[in-house]
Amino acid sequence: MPTAQPPLAILLSHIADAQVGFAASGVHEIVRAAALTPLPGAPDIIEGALNLHGRILPVVDVRKRLGLPALGIAPGHFLIALESAGRLIAVRVDDVVDVVDVDMDDLASATSLSPTLARLRGVAATANGAIVIHDVDAFLTQAEHEALDQLATAPG
């Protein structure tokens, strides 16, 4: 008899009308949104930089990744610091809801829905609708990681 997999703890948040989730194990910190510093030469997906306790984090524009219209930073927004493929990044969300457990049996593979969704860990069906769960390690492309590496090592 196969053993049941433990549920996946997800930080549930909202971007526009979408419920989005990030594995809670990769979340380092959640802070209120603040003004971002532009990063000239950064990949288009990078919204700017955040100084988090003396550490500079690139802020990924999740709205752009999801094909949503741009939205300026509002005082009610949040920035979530996440570990992504060995790099600490931040993502801006409209709201942070809660940490919820998602039963692995309720998690549909994103690529089974569409091959273009390879950057997602999956989509979970819940009583409150679908949660799009991002694969934070695949959040940035290799080219975006390389561009950020070049910015980090550029003479300042």
Amino acid at 95: D
115-146 pLDDT, tens per residue? 445 567 778 877 778 888 878 888 788 888 88
| pLDDT of 79 over the 80 cut | yes
- Measured CA to CA, the distance from residue 16 to residue 72 in angstroms comes to 12
Any domain includes 152: no
The answer to whether 139 touches 90, Cβ cutoff 8 Å, is no
| pLDDT of 107 over the 80 cut | no
Any domain includes 86: yes
Domain of residue 74, residue span: 8-142
- Measured CA to CA, the distance from residue 131 to residue 22 in angstroms comes to 10
Any domain includes 1: no
The answer to whether 125 touches 19, Cβ cutoff 8 Å, is no
| pLDDT of 113 over the 60 cut | no
End-to-end Cα spacing for the chain: 59
| Number of structural domains found in the chain | 1
Greater pLDDT, 58 or 123: 58
Any domain includes 29: yes
Any domain includes 148: no
Which pLDDT value is given to residue 41? 86
Q: What is the CATH classification number for the domain harbouring 42?
A: 2.40.50.180
- Measured CA to CA, the distance from residue 138 to residue 113 in angstroms comes to 17
Any domain includes 151: no
Any domain includes 65: yes
pTM of the model: 0.84
Any domain includes 106: yes
- Measured CA to CA, the distance from residue 152 to residue 89 in angstroms comes to 13
